[in-house]
Amino acid sequence: MIEPSARQRFTSRELVAAYEDFIGGEPRYLDTETGLKAEAYRFGTRVLLIYEESETGVVVLIHPTS
């Protein structure tokens, strides 16, 4: 699932590249208690967060806003 904030900030190519890396590799963050997996990707000054919900297996791509 790609959040609107990520669709507006990143190109399709950037989103696909980050998603494929996330799926194919080991996440930098893994909460052993909840099973939540997460990774952050930097594209210039923009940051894309990807996480997988452990219960549903849904992968979410989001651009954090302050």
Per-residue pLDDT tens over the stretch 25-64: 887 898 888 888 999 999 999 999 999 988 888 999 989 8
47 in helix, strand or coil?
strand
Total structural domains within the chain = 1
The single-letter code of the amino acid at 19 is Y
| pLDDT, position 48 | 94
Domain limits for position 36: 4-62
Q: Are 14 and 2 in contact (CB under 8 A)?
A: no
Does the structure show a pLDDT above 70 at 66? no
**What's the pTM value of the predicted model, to 2 decimals?**
0.83
